[in-house]
Structure 1
Amino acid sequence: LVVSAFASLPDVRGTWTPQLRDGSALVLVDLGTGRDRLGGSMLAQVRGEFGGTVPDLDDAERLTRLAAALGELRASGSVTAYHDRSDGGLWAAACEMAFAGAVGVELDVASVAALFTEELGVVLGVPADGVGDVLDALGRHGLGDLARVVGRTAADRRVRVVVGGTALLEEPLRDLAQAWDEVSWRIAGLRDNPGCADEEHAAFGADDDPGLSVRPSFDPADDVAAPYLNLGARPAVAILREQGVNSHVETAFAFDRAGFDTYDVHMTDLQAGRFDLSDPSVRGLVACGGFSYGDTLGAGEGWARSVLFNERLKDTFSAFFHRGDTFALGICNGCQMFAALADLIPGAEAWPRFTRNRSEQYEARLSMLEVLDSPSIFFSGMAGSQVPIAVAHGEGFANFSARGDETRVLRAARYVDNRGRVATAYPANPNGSPDGLTAVTTADGRFTAMMPHPERVQRNVQMSWTSGPVEQESPWLRMFRNARVWVG
């Protein structure tokens, strides 16, 4: 029986991840009370055995006390990393925390069974000087006898294991990471593009990988649109969507924060005349991300055809694009849609089509993006920034064989690897586009199309990882503020 559940959270700032930090101790909370049963465990499977008695929750009250204790620890900020003890036991949990943090680990346990038992429990990463406070908090919830320090981070990228006072293992973190990833690599090699699978596996756990970083070329807290917010004017922006589009709310929120009045405009509103793009108060048009028509007609293609095959809408879009006082932004599915409408957009003749990712899979990840020096009004003052951004698409490959001109296209952004170099390999380049290309613009900068999702990471708290202050706006909000500055 598999039981799953979900709930809305009023505040995600207390989210824990397995990312282990330097200078941490590992605290195990063992709901199995030291019984270390191995029945059905990975260790038993490797040995070709059943393993005897299987783990169980012998006292449900322990689980409720653990939940209460974790709530207190989260509120106090005492814990910096978290992992459940499940498949592979403490050994697998500690290794996965080390992989996430790119740090070495030293484990010290009483027995091999304690290392591999899959009894219920959790592993907490705790600053070394805060261990006493964490153990005290667990004690207040009746878990003091079940909690103990089982390890600490190491100064080098190696994993060491001491069992019963005897050193039994010492391995480079890189070698363990490669072994851990091997099954996923082999599956991906059969299911996906084998070349991409090989590239991802080769990069996993690399000793010289510095990890993600946030390197804006400007101060994200500097609100360049602030001088325009008290003028009493809020220019109108049409937040355009079609059946299957799902990023319109975040997009509207970003433009609202930047000082625009946002209007939820469905394609049927344009077809029925309920919204008029020719209204001079409408200064911006944003085609949002998602999966219009389920991408069954090609990503963004069906959406574009609903314009191209309707003469009135085709003329309306063309007239809007040719007005000198308008701007437009296409994000993800909207980028694909705009690329298919490039013949209507002045200056977009060299834009490519965006087709199936080289990996042959839908890509959803946080990727490093570099903003290039370009005329785009959205990226004004941002050139040189290298910042993580949300990626979520199956068809993001900039395909110049389908249309466009790779030598003439105006590039606005590209993927880079964690070292800041142009991303040519997967997964740093998630779609395989030449030179990591993922955003294009026009000579006057009024029109930009990009595959990643800045609207989904406009606040640092929306990032699955960031080094920025969690309560602050992310560097990507600058894009929307730039649009407000351009309107004036």
Structure 2
Amino acid sequence: PGQHRLGGTALAQCFSQLGEQPPNLDVPENLAHAFNVTQGLLRDRLLCSGHDVSDGGLITCLLEMAFAGNCGIEVDVPAPGVDVLPVLFAEEPGLVLEVQEADLGQVLERYWAAGLRCLELGPTGDAGPHALVRVSVNGAVVLEDTVGQLRAVWEETSFQLDRLQTEPRCVAEEEQGLRERTGPSYCLPLTFPEVSVSHEPGGPMPRVAILREEGSNGDREMADAFHLAGFEVWDVTMQDLCSGAIGLDTFRGVAFVGGFSYADVLGSAKGWAAAVTFHPLAGAELRRFRKRPDTFSLGVCNGCQLLGLPGWVGGSPR
């Protein structure tokens, strides 16, 4: 607590240095205490958002939260006797949390009660690309600009790389769009109609397989959506199909979920598609499922990319 070491940080790298003292978890017990307190706050719904202090230090953490919310912030970091750069760019373990003003006192108290240092930094501001970000250290303003302009600086390296591999006009359009991006406008009804898939009265619910591969990460949300719609949901992995442990004859639907199968190392969904196409058991099972007249399939994100490779999208059922 109270350390601002710069060794091995992103700031040191920018200056082609290694530094001397790297950030460290000096009191490991504090990590466990912080985790437990944070979990309690999540259970009690006292947190609006949060981000860890990691690469780039506190200033990067704060800006990334502002970018994610597309809103301004007004922050004053109290650090008497410490220079600005260590305060903002040290990568010591820490969290930045957003809470409702009415809950601020309770949140501070819980961390202090656990022996953890917790400080109020400041409020969030207006939303939109022209919202102001103002960061001060010990009362002195060190950064003041709009969210849109700061996001453009943050994205600049990525855009430079994009210009080497993408149509320059497309990159310019994306860059301009990012500068003017506004948040989504939500309009939700007070109640939602009950949705239930049709089935024989008194009969079993139709069964759907939520199919995932190594690296997939959209399976739980997909399972929940089908469950709310009245399906009997099964969690099925490609290994289940490859080993013959599970077949698809009793399933009416298969949902190929999103995420990054095999971390996209072989290209988007190509490793997954290879198993679907060439594995004798899994391939035969999926082809037989597709030829049945009473089935459906859904591919989202990486799952959609998968279905396009073996011809499930726009191809013949055969």
Decide which of 84, 87, 91 is 2:52's aligned counterpart: 84
How far apart in 2 are the matches of 1:169 and 1:276? 58
How far apart in 1 are the matches of 2:33 and 2:20? 28
Which residue does 2:202 correspond to in 1?
A: 232
The letter of the residue matching 1:152 is: P
Is 1:286 the counterpart of 2:253? The answer is: yes
Secondary structure class of the residue paired with 1:167: strand
Structure 1 residue runs of 5 or longer lacking an equivalent are 1-30, 345-488
How far apart in 1 are the matches of 2:105 and 2:167? 49
Within 5 Å, give how 1:424-443 maps onto structure 2. none
Is 1:295 the counterpart of 2:273? The answer is: yes
The letter of the residue matching 2:109 is: D
Is 1:39 the counterpart of 2:7? The answer is: yes
How far apart in 2 are the matches of 1:231 and 1:103? 51
How far apart in 2 are the matches of 1:134 and 1:338? 51
Within 5 Å, give how 1:36-185 maps onto structure 2. 36-47=4-15, 50-109=18-77, 110=79, 111-112=83-84, 113-143=86-116, 146-155=117-126, 157-185=131-159
Secondary structure class of the residue paired with 2:73: strand
How far apart in 2 are the matches of 1:293 and 1:50? 38
Structure 2 residue runs of 5 or longer lacking an equivalent are 258-268
Secondary structure class of the residue paired with 2:26: coil
The letter of the residue matching 1:57 is: L
| 1:243–1:166 CA distance, 2 compared to 1 (3 A) | closer
Contact 1:106 1:159 in 2 (8 A): yes
Q: CA RMSD in A?
A: 4.5
| 1:337–1:54 CA distance, 2 compared to 1 (3 A) | same
Contact 1:301 1:340 in 2 (8 A): no
TM-score norm. by structure 1 comes to: 0.46
Secondary structure class of the residue paired with 1:149: coil
Deviations 1:191-236 (A, max 9, x none): 56655544443333x344223x5567x887322438x678212375
Contact 1:243 1:293 in 2 (8 A): no
Contact 2:208 2:255 in 1 (8 A): no
Contact 1:185 1:201 in 2 (8 A): yes
> Per-residue deviation at 1:101?
0.7
> Per-residue deviation at 1:48?
5.2
Secondary structure class of the residue paired with 1:155: strand
The letter of the residue matching 1:55 is: P
| 1:342–1:237 CA distance, 2 compared to 1 (3 A) | farther
Greater percentage in strand: 1
Deviations 1:316-369 (A, max 9, x none): 93xx54xxxx4634432446643354376xxxxxxxxxxxxxxxxxxxxxxxxx
Deviations 1:275-332 (A, max 9, x none): 898xxxx8x85354265873349xx7779xx78xx9xx69x93xx54xxxx4634432
Secondary structure class of the residue paired with 2:74: strand
The percentage of counterpart residues that share the same residue type is 27
How far apart in 1 are the matches of 2:13 and 2:42? 36
> Per-residue deviation at 1:179?
0.6
Within 5 Å, give how 1:138-287 maps onto structure 2. 138-143=111-116, 146-155=117-126, 157-190=131-164, 196-204=170-178, 206-211=179-184, 221-225=192-196, 231-234=201-204, 258-259=229-230, 285-287=252-254
Contact 2:53 2:92 in 1 (8 A): yes
> Per-residue deviation at 1:188?
3.5
| 1:136–1:160 CA distance, 2 compared to 1 (3 A) | same
| 1:258–1:190 CA distance, 2 compared to 1 (3 A) | same
How far apart in 2 are the matches of 1:107 and 1:287? 48
TM-score norm. by structure 2 comes to: 0.67
How far apart in 1 are the matches of 2:101 and 2:212? 52
How far apart in 2 are the matches of 1:115 and 1:248? 38
- Equivalences, count: 281
Secondary structure class of the residue paired with 1:151: coil
Contact 1:85 1:123 in 2 (8 A): yes
Contact 2:125 2:132 in 1 (8 A): yes
| 1:174–1:236 CA distance, 2 compared to 1 (3 A) | closer
Greater percentage in helix: 2
| 1:256–1:54 CA distance, 2 compared to 1 (3 A) | closer
Contact 1:160 1:167 in 2 (8 A): yes
Within 5 Å, give how 1:414-425 maps onto structure 2. none
> Per-residue deviation at 1:141?
0.4
The letter of the residue matching 2:253 is: V
| 1:193–1:148 CA distance, 2 compared to 1 (3 A) | same
How far apart in 2 are the matches of 1:126 and 1:203? 30
> Per-residue deviation at 1:103?
0.8
| 1:141–1:174 CA distance, 2 compared to 1 (3 A) | same
| 1:187–1:230 CA distance, 2 compared to 1 (3 A) | same
Secondary structure class of the residue paired with 1:338: coil
Contact 1:239 1:248 in 2 (8 A): no
Contact 1:90 1:116 in 2 (8 A): yes
